[in-house]
Amino acid sequence: MWTGCADTPTLVGVAGLDIGGIGKQLCDAAFEGVVKQLLEGYVVIGGTVAGNAGAYRGSGGIDLVWDLWNEQFSAFTYPEHALTSGSMAGASGGVHVGFGFGRFDSVHSAWSGEFYGVEYSVDIRAWSILSISGSVQGFASPDGTMKGGLVGIGGTAKVPGSVTQLLKLPLGGSVTAGGGVWTPHDATTRRLAGRRSSDLKRNRYSYLDLEEGELGIGSHMLQIMGMSPLSLSLAGYAVAVAMAKRNMEDKGITDREEGLRDLHLSLCSEAYRRISAYRQDVPSGTSEKHYGNYSVQRTTGGHFVITDTVSVPATGEWRSTRRLHRPDATVVGTIRYGQAIGGAPNAFIDGRSYPMSRFSQELERRTNALLTR
């Protein structure tokens, strides 16, 4: 707090700093809990078929998966040998759409292998000929590195594999749990490449490389799903992730973790945004650059000094806050100084009053100490 100048503008300024700190904490929490997860997202649409062929009972289906950060697409079947509706007697089918979240280096490493899930479903039956079910599912890989959820509509929309009914619920609802093994399906991936067949690539299995500007993965989604409010929303989500990745690449950042940290600071730290703008305007050297009511200067040690000034022209009083920041905007030193009008001019530095004859000298000494760090 600035002792010796506890007038209304000063108290408002101090309150503003506290509110700003709370706002950053909320932004940090939102980034870690929401934005960061969305940037590690996977969009999935698919279908499930289940039925009884003689003595054989089972379920299976196909998932179409877009890896948003790596900008890849691949089709997967489950279980490993998917059932076909043509061989099923009394088969029922369902469709689902959803999201997965995790950090992987490819769509295959993210979506291949074993998954377990829990589903809540509600059946609506009309007369004896109509049966519609809706479901909400949660799923995860055994090691917890991939988690997500699905919404299903259809005759069935269940987690495939050995499904065990755990609990009967009212209104025809039930909770089920089960698991299955997901395997890339090359034939479907190739068939759905469409105009992008030249972008098909292969490691052990085929996948579609959609890294072509911000619209690459979004346009492929629309090609597969058609135009609808849902598909446009999913494509917009994909474009937003691609734009965040392009912004990282434009800054020369190749490491994902570093890129996420840069985005976090860009969204949540005004000081970091100011430093980033200064770096573009002053690529080298230590010259000071003014931006309206604040200035930025690089120190000899590669830190940054940001000076904010608030003035009241009618009275001639002014207050400044000069902060020393590391390149990641962490504050490592602060000087608060200014001049308040109250009878006679009152110069102060960090709450201590100074005669005008000593004020400039002391401020210069402290500022030079910051600039050499």
pLDDT in tens, 101-114: 888 889 998 888 87
Q: Which pLDDT band holds residue 128 (cuts at 50, 70, 90)?
A: very low
* Residue 195 clears pLDDT 50, i.e. is over it: yes
Decide: residue 3, CB within 10 A, 0-12 exposed, 13-18 middle, 19+ buried: exposed
pLDDT given for residue 151 in this prediction = 58
More confident call, 361 vs 28: 361
Q: What is the rounded CA–CA span in Å between residue 99 and residue 45?
A: 9
* Residue 288 clears pLDDT 90, i.e. is over it: yes
Compute CA 254 distance to the chain's CA centroid, rounded to the nearest angstrom. 17
Asked if residues 300 and 371 have their Cβ atoms less than 8 Å apart, the reply is yes
* Residue 254 clears pLDDT 70, i.e. is over it: yes
Compute CA 33 distance to the chain's CA centroid, rounded to the nearest angstrom. 8
Asked if residues 348 and 337 have their Cβ atoms less than 8 Å apart, the reply is yes
Sole residue written with tokens 């829990």: 118
Asked if residues 347 and 339 have their Cβ atoms less than 8 Å apart, the reply is yes
* Residue 131 clears pLDDT 70, i.e. is over it: no
* Separation in Å, CA 98 to CA 62, 127, 194, 372: 13, 31, 23, 53
Q: Is the dihedral of CA 344, 349, 353, 359 positive or negative?
A: negative
**Three-state DSSP class for residue 21:** helix
* Residue 215 clears pLDDT 80, i.e. is over it: no
How many other CB atoms sit within 10 Å of the CB of residue 42? 23
Write down the domain spans for the chain: 8-31+269-371, 41-244
Q: What is the pTM of this model?
A: 0.66
Strands (E), 68-190: 72-78, 89-101, 113-126, 130-140, 147-154, 164-168, 174-184
pLDDT given for residue 4 in this prediction = 34
Which contiguous run of DSSP H or E holds residue 222?
helix 216-225
Asked if residues 40 and 257 have their Cβ atoms less than 8 Å apart, the reply is no
Mean pLDDT value across residues 76-92: 47
Report the first-to-last Cα separation within the chain, whole angstroms: 25
Q: What angle do CA 302, 306, 308 make, to 5 degrees?
A: 175
> Which residue type, as a one-letter code, is found at position 225?
M
Beta bridge partners of 183: 77
Asked if residues 293 and 309 have their Cβ atoms less than 8 Å apart, the reply is yes
Beta bridge partners of 175: 120, 167
Which contiguous run of DSSP H or E holds residue 20?
helix 8-30
- pLDDT by residue (tens digit) across 41-76? 888 887 765 544 333 344 567 888 999 999 999 988
* Residue 205 clears pLDDT 70, i.e. is over it: yes
More confident call, 26 vs 70: 70
Q: What is the rounded CA–CA span in Å between residue 255 and residue 212?
A: 19
Asked if residues 77 and 61 have their Cβ atoms less than 8 Å apart, the reply is yes
Lowest mean pLDDT among 18-32, 86-100, 183-197, 281-295: 86-100
Mean pLDDT value across residues 265-279: 88
Which contiguous run of DSSP H or E holds residue 19?
helix 8-30
> Which residue type, as a one-letter code, is found at position 88?
M
Mean pLDDT value across residues 297-322: 89
Which contiguous run of DSSP H or E holds residue 305?
strand 304-312
* Separation in Å, CA 291 to CA 156, 226, 307: 60, 47, 10
Q: What is the mean pLDDT of the chain?
A: 73
Which contiguous run of DSSP H or E holds residue 62?
strand 56-67
